[in-house]
Amino acid sequence: MDAVSIVAKWLYETLHNDSALLAAATGGIHDTLAGDAAPPFVVYQIESPEDNLVVGAQRHTVTCEALVRAIGQTDSYAALDTAVGRISALLDRVDSNQTVNDGNGAAAGRIVACFRTAPYLDAYYDESTGQQWRHKGGMYRVTVQEV
């Protein structure tokens, strides 16, 4: 399993296994696109993976930026605060060696660290439905080491 897949699996499992987050994001947890999920929901997407090399140009770890945000059909960012608070509690300042399995029970890699590097806010008005949408969350830097 490659490093980006390890990060995606860890994000999904970490977010999906939190009952308080699922209660606040009733439309579920989604990788990149939410399809026809009913809001509010959480979407994460991995951007800008970068190898961290050591002597001899060997890859030691991989660092990815992950945009993780709650999305709701609302005119207020405050409506997303509970979900965003849970995302932050789960992902910000993680400093551990959490092992991620490959799906067959074998270790694929480990999450070395995760922390928020920037907040994220976005809004738009859908003229076809007359609905306002809000996105609120953060950009997280995740460092992973493949096994």
pLDDT digits (tens, 9 = 90+) for 13-27: 999 999 999 999 999
Is pLDDT at 89 greater than 80 in this prediction? yes
Q: What is the residue whose two structure tokens read 């789960």?
A: 90
pTM: 0.92
Q: Which CATH number fits domain 3-146: 3.30.2000.30, 3.10.20.30, 3.40.1410.10, 3.30.565.10?
A: 3.30.2000.30
Q: Over the stretch 114-127, which tens digit does the pLDDT of each residue have?
A: 999 999 999 999 99
Read off φ and ψ for residue 103, nearest 5 degrees. Answer: 100, -15
Q: Which residues pair with 101 in a beta bridge?
A: 107
pLDDT at 58: 76
